[in-house]
Structure 1
């Protein structure tokens, strides 16, 4: 909820005050419903991902997240009948296989956390497909920053009651933590601001390079996150787990290369 609140405020500042892109308006009730659905799925992906981090180490979470292209290909075919080149589908095999191997060799494996992480990954893929449809629909085209401007407040509306119901006395707990150590306030502000800048830099990278470059950078981010999480949290990793992680990363790189050649 903090992330989406920051995205709402900073998106408005970037568009209305800084004029980074022209402000666009929602043109119809149907378009509003599409944005609301997209926002709900986005909330589901983020919340599920956060829940999974309670039970799984970040490294394993990132390895599962690397299977997003697999789910994206499936949803794109089911919803738009878009077929990829056969080589693209072949490269998804090591991606999924790597996660299966990593799951079997993960010392900190937790079934519920694994299910939540897979759900988050699937929801993230579904979001990207729906977002692509919304961004490309004739008469309803919104650029990425305006879409974030409208998605984020709707997400806050979804998340605020859920937060108050599911996280008992969350406001009181946060204030108590802040009284004990004011750094928690700055950590929340910094973390929430990062959520917006992730979306902003994604937009800028796509604008000045290409979506494929963004995907390759995202894959590199996943590999770096695995290594850093192991160094910071010292979570145990088996040889089998590392083999699975490596196979997944290799599969994602091959997938990106296959997509590049199919264009």
Structure 2
């Protein structure tokens, strides 16, 4: 009886963890799009900077004040040699995501972000000369096909937004690959990641944001008809961005890897649906089909990766993969890039 109750509680906890993760993630995306489109605050660097500052403060409070998470100690030298390069790519990734939201609908941006597994595999293959099981390559086919179909049939297509989202995938993949080597020996969770990276990202972004967008932000402040409520939404999005980091930590510890992967892909569907209900951006039938194919492909990719990672030692590998060269994807899940 006690085991049954424990099992039921674990299921309930997992469901609640996934729902709060979805809630924070979709809310942050919708708020960012609302800021760019409805508040006419067309300054993605400044929005990203607000998020970094909010996350820096939030991580400090959680670790140093509330002590809800123990601080992972990092050598001062490693902070610049290892974490700073990661923070630079991290900053680029977040900025590109916000730039893409400035120009294209949430549905299109989220679909393109699903291209990240493909860019991760290709970059590792090209740069690190890693070889992958043929089943990994096969699992990428529906992802690539779905992205192509979605891009061709997108009714609100914008080249700048498309390129920003695509290069954002490459930045995410680069960060994923670098994390495997640069953070070797440090078992970071999402809160400690933000604690160390967000201050660096703020420092990196503060100068270009001030120089490129400062005059426009000042003009917006003087001309905004409802300044107080607009600032509440902008800074509120930063607070929710940090809450998203905490929700990711909670969902990872409450679910299995397979559940996390499936929930992540369903989260994209939820974000697409909610954004369409709010912004009513036009979506053709073929565009919706392309988005669905992409999500199915991402789920299949996650299943293949999980299956190969649990493959028993000594199990024969797929033919034509050079012996000793077969590699799986780094154990840094791409969905963690929802952070900030």
TM-score, normalised by the number of residues in structure 2: 0.71
Query: Does the C-alpha gap of structure 1 residues 73 and 105 become closer, same or farther in structure 2, counting only changes over 3 Å?
Result: same
Question: Which position in structure 2 is the counterpart of 1:115?
Answer: 163
Question: Which position in structure 1 is the counterpart of 2:204?
Answer: 158
Give 3-state SS (helix, strand or coil) of 1:108's partner: coil
Structure 2: which 5+ residue stretches go unaligned?
A: 1-48, 311-340
Structure 1 Cα separation of the partners of residues 194 and 99 of structure 2: 23
Out of 187, 190, 195, the position equivalent to 1:144 is 190
Structure 1 Cα separation of the partners of residues 215 and 297 of structure 2: 44
Stretch of structure 1 that moved more, 70-79 or 50-59: 70-79
Alignment coverage as a number of residue pairs: 261
Stretch of structure 1 that moved more, 217-226 or 90-99: 217-226
Out of 230, 233, 245, the position equivalent to 1:184 is 230
Give 3-state SS (helix, strand or coil) of 1:53's partner: helix
Structure 1 Cα separation of the partners of residues 124 and 248 of structure 2: 21
Structure 2 Cα separation of the partners of residues 220 and 162 of structure 1: 36
Give 3-state SS (helix, strand or coil) of 1:25's partner: coil
Equivalent residues of 1:94, 1:248 under 8 A apart: yes
Question: Which position in structure 1 is the counterpart of 2:66?
Answer: 18
Query: Does the C-alpha gap of structure 1 residues 103 and 179 become closer, same or farther in structure 2, counting only changes over 3 Å?
Result: closer
1:84 Cα shift? Answer: 4.2
CA displacement 1:64-86 (0-9 Å, x = unmatched) = 01111111223344566655432
Equivalent residues of 1:26, 1:32 under 8 A apart: no
Question: Which position in structure 2 is the counterpart of 1:167?
Answer: 213
Question: Which position in structure 2 is the counterpart of 1:58?
Answer: 106
Structure number with bigger Rg: 2
Query: After TM superposition, what 4+ stretches of structure 1 lie above 6 angstroms from structure 2?
Result: none
Structure 2 Cα separation of the partners of residues 82 and 214 of structure 1: 26
Equivalent residues of 1:77, 1:83 under 8 A apart: yes
Structure 1: which 5+ residue stretches go unaligned?
A: none
Aligned Cα root-mean-square deviation (Å): 2.1
Question: Which position in structure 2 is the counterpart of 1:3?
Answer: 51
